[in-house]
Structure 1
Amino acid sequence: MRRNANRGATRRVRAALGTVIALCAVTAVLPGAASAETTAGVRGAGDRETSVQKISLAADGTPADGDSGDASITPDGRHVVFASAADNLTPDRPQEGDEVYLRDQRADETRRIGHYDPIEPPVISGDGAYLGYPVPWMRDVKIYLWQVRTGAIGGLDCWPGCGQLSLNGDGHHAVYVVTPRPPASHQRVEFQDVFTGAKETIAEFGHRRPSRPSLSGDSRHVAYQDGEAGDVFVRDRTDGITHGPIEGPSKEAALVQLSEDGGKVVYRSGPDTHVHDVRSGTAQLVPNARGVAIDPTGRYLLYAPNDPADPGQPSLALRDLSTGTDEIVSRQPASAGVDAVSAHGRDVVFTSAADDIVPDDTNGTSDVFVRRFH
């Protein structure tokens, strides 16, 4: 699943664009020596070497001149999609406002995808082949998809008022929420085959609170929440059975994310985070922690301690659910959303306005960073 429903703490310094979207692709190949500001490798708490890299940089390697954030990373760690209000990340910047960028870590290049009215963060398919995000259209919202290899632009047939997008592993399937305009007071979670347009209703609610659907890589499982009742469910599209509330009848829960393999569902309840095993029906407790994301395999949990003001606590940490050990992602104030962790916990993408994560960070804006565990 590729989704990012939490906007985090990204600051906006430019007004949102109008309702017309003009998509394009401009590639900036960054100079090898200046393409990334990186710290030297050190040892993490889990005994893996770690380094951190700032990726929201201008084409010539100079700092971005505007805030960046809302980032997601693919399971292989190669592609990062993020939004930025900077004017200098690629050579061609036709107008002011937030835009979506795609960073190819292997090719060492950044592409400008198109204008971005920040309704919800952009999402990317598991293989990095497709990305999409909702945009204002007339009085409603549409979802646009962009094919990375060809630059082809398309849209989902989900008019009107669709959002909360999640893509499967190859971008051929999507789930989203359709919310008609008021006075309507209902919504539905819908699954769609991107190429055939075939649709399937996953759930319907008589309210408009967030459903936060999350789609597994093979498109079999859809996790979602009843935002009014505080319940989390998992729909098995193969056998047609909906499981839940998975947190049980005695407490409320909020969905965080379904793992790419469909085996684990992360949800928060009270001050704690729970990692539910879809196959066994059991859950692992991570106490006093705000779960943020899970890696595609379901082994590594990105979380924020509930008391980040404590000088001894990091703002983001990565928990190995098999061993119970933690690795520090950022000690400085930072935020992240779902789809922030690559497979096996190797990479974590996050946003921070701190100026001491990498050397010579003097632009005074929020930037996108990738923490790498070797």
Structure 2
Amino acid sequence: MTTQFATPATTHRTVRFRLLRPISTAAAGVAVLGCLAVGVAPAASASASAPPATTRVSVDSKGGQATEYRSEPFAASADGRYVAFTSASPNLMPDDTNNTWDVLVRDRRTGTTSRVSQSTVGVVGDSSSYGQSLSPDGRYVSFTSDATNLVPGDTNGDSDGFVHDRRTGSTSRVTLTNGGTEADARSYAPAISADARFVAFVSEATNVVPGDTNGVADIFLRDRQAGTTVRVSGTNADAPSDAPAISANGRYVTFTSEAALVPGDTNGVADVFIRDMRTGSLRRVNVSTSGAQANALTVSPTMSADGRFVAFTSEATNLVSGDTNGVADVFLRDLRAGTTVRASLTADGGQATGGSSYGPMMSADGRYVVFSSDVTDLVSGDTNGVADVFLRDLGAGTTVRASLAADGGQGNDGSYNGVVTRDGRHVAFASAATNLVPRDTNGVTDAFLRRMPH
């Protein structure tokens, strides 16, 4: 089989200066917490919920497992009914003949799997596609694709960003210039607002907006209703920007940049910024509670639905007091309260040691942060010696492992790419483990969903 696997399925989450995040979903809902630094009321009792369970979602419509290559989730709908994932397995769709990565959605209620990386008339993409985000209701899916046959007139020979409407079946290109023409260079990582009107994306093109002469990747925002595109990452930034995430209403866009975009940015490393598209204000997110800039690399931003909370990965040691583990941690910034806390903490609130934590994704209200970690002391009984996916409840101050088997046992291989639903009750993740569900015999990484015990 000839495949196009030079680029991993996680391209949408991988930037050249990023710590491992093997994206960001447009979050659902607008519930807002009080200051997380001082805690909030715990979630409803687990007795009111169904017991925890783990299911495999990277299966075909008959429940058959993938036969080749890996499958990785990148988003879930607000209620966990729909899980979107990227896969190169050729057997998940009956007409999969392109021998490369596709973007799929699993409907857990009906038990069906459908492809979204296809044209409006249902023609499969002629090259690789990689998922980026999913609307809260599961209707819209955004993805990056190298395919040239998804929309008419795609002649730029570069990656583009697309949005597929699962209700109407239409696929449209969204990484367009302000004049509506195609970009003259690679565009990728399209993150959609809740209604898919606004799309934040990265582009190396020089023609998306007039006067783009910096020669590096910038962040742009496309208004699909108005047909306009504006630059988000400042006028002619002197270094590349990447990894956009967008608030539910499209007002806020957060991203990573190596450029010095605000006064006082003298650390010489990548930082996380947030742009208010209504007021035009731009501020740096990855600072300590006292406002000190990070003393090391910061990447992988994810945002709450209302834009109040931003989580990120950082190697910095000065964002919170007592950070002495010398590895990357996951942090959360409350932009309203002006506080920064560490999210990758042990179950009793202690500092994790012996490995990095990375790749955060956040629930809509900012209460729950899911992340991957190589650390073995985040929870008791972690003896598998591989990366796992964890869920931090910043309201209750607890950390639990999400990448567990249906019976609660730990996985026998690594897990990563955690995605949390709006209320924190479901976590999707990728895993190479073979013991999470019965009859997992394909020997490849699969996508799973865990119903959490809260």
| TM-score normalised over the length of structure 1 | 0.80
Mapped to 1, the partners of 2:21 and 2:282 lie a distance apart of 34
**Residue of structure 2 in register with 1:267 after alignment:** 312
Deviation larger for 63-72 or 358-367: 63-72
- The farther-off stretch of 307-316 and 127-136 is 307-316
Does 1:149 pair with 2:170? no
1:223 equivalent in alignment to 2:267? no
Give the aligned length. 336
1:244 equivalent in alignment to 2:284: yes
Could you say which residue in structure 2 is the equivalent of 1:323?
A: 396
2:158 aligns to what? Answer: 140
Question: 1:222, CA displacement in angstroms?
Answer: 1.0
Distance 1:122 1:312 in 2: 30
The alpha carbon displacement at 1:190 in A equals: 1.0
Tell me which of 396, 417, 421 is aligned to 1:337.
417
Say if 1:244 and 1:82 are closer, same or farther in 2 by CA, change over 3 A.
Answer: same
Moved more, 219-228 or 141-150: 219-228
Pair 1:131-2:141 in alignment: yes
- Match of residue 63, structure 2, among 56, 61, 67: 61
Does residue 311 in structure 1 map to residue 401 in structure 2?
no
Per-residue deviation, 1:208: 5.6
Gaps of 5+ in 1: 11-42
Shift in Å at residue 117 of structure 1?
A: 4.3
CA contact (8 A) 1:257 1:293 kept: yes
| 1:302 paired residue number | 370
Query: Among the aligned pairs, what percent are the same residue?
Result: 25
Q: CA deviation at 1:304?
A: 2.6
Asked if the contact 1:144/1:155 (under 8 Å) is kept, the reply is yes
Query: Helix, strand or coil for the counterpart of 1:195?
Result: coil
Contact 2:131–2:142 under 8 Å retained in 1: no
Greater C-alpha radius of gyration: 2
Shift of the 334–9 alpha-carbon distance from structure 1 to 2, 3 Å rule, reads farther
Alpha-carbon contact 1:72-1:337 (below 8 Å) kept: no
Summarize the Cα distance change of 1:123–1:4 in structure 2 as closer, same or farther, 3 Å threshold: farther
Bigger shift: 302-311 or 271-280?
302-311
Partner of 2:42: none
| Structure 1 residue 206: Cα displacement | 4.1
CA contact (8 A) 1:185 1:206 kept: no
Say which is worse superposed, 153-162 or 274-283, in terms of deviation: 153-162
| Deviation digits for residues 230-270 of structure 1 (CA, Å, limit 9, x no counterpart) | 22111122222112254232423223311223121012221
Q: Which residue of 1 aligns with 2:197?
A: 172
Q: What does 1:1-374 align with in structure 2 at a 5 Å threshold?
A: 5-6=12-13, 49-66=51-68, 67-113=70-116, 114=118, 115=125, 117-118=127-128, 120-136=130-146, 137=148, 138-156=156-174, 157-158=176-177, 159-160=183-184, 161-180=186-205, 185-204=215-234, 206=237, 209-227=240-258, 229-247=269-287, 248-252=292-296, 253-270=298-315, 271-286=328-343, 287-288=351-352, 289-308=357-376, 311=383, 315-330=388-403, 331-332=410-411, 333-337=413-417, 340-374=419-453
Is contact 2:372–2:416 with CA below 8 Å preserved after alignment? no
Contact 1:71–1:368 under 8 Å retained in 2: no
Q: Answer 1 or 2: which has greater strand percent.
A: 1
DSSP 3-state at the match of 1:49: coil
SS where residue 345 of structure 1 aligns?
A: coil
SS across alignment from 2:215: coil
In 1, the alpha carbon distance for the partners of 2:129 and 2:376 equals: 27
Taking the aligned partners of 2:423 and 2:282, their CA distance within structure 1 comes to: 28
Give the match's secondary structure for 2:159: strand
Are the aligned partners of 1:275 and 1:283 in contact in 2 as well (CA < 8 Å)?
Answer: yes
1:323 maps to a residue whose letter is A
**TM-score w.r.t. structure 2 length?**
0.67
Looking at structure 1, the residues matched to 126 and 72 of structure 2 have their Cα atoms a distance apart, in angstroms, of 12
Whichever residue aligns with residue 141 of structure 1, its letter is S
SS at match of 1:292: strand
Change (3 A) 1:184 1:291: closer
Q: Answer yes or no: is the 8 Å Cα contact 1:129–1:147 preserved in 2.
A: yes
- Alpha-carbon distance in structure 1 between the residues aligned to 2:390 and 2:284: 29
More off after superposition, 284-293 vs 98-107: 284-293
One-letter amino acid of the counterpart of residue 97, structure 1: T
Change (3 A) 1:127 1:220: same
Name the structure 2 match of 1:36. none
Q: Deviations over 1:97-118 (max 9, x none)?
A: 2222111222321112233744
Could you tell me whether the CA contact under 8 Å between 2:71 and 2:85 is conserved in 1? yes
Distance 1:75 1:300, change over 3 A: same
Letter of the 2:62 partner, please give it. D
C-alpha root-mean-square deviation of aligned residues, in Å?
2.9
- For the structure 1 residues 274 and 201, does the alpha-carbon distance in structure 2 shift closer, same or farther, using more than 3 Å as the test? same
- What SS is found at the alignment partner of 2:136? coil
**Match for 2:161: what amino acid?**
I
Displacement, 1:212? 0.9
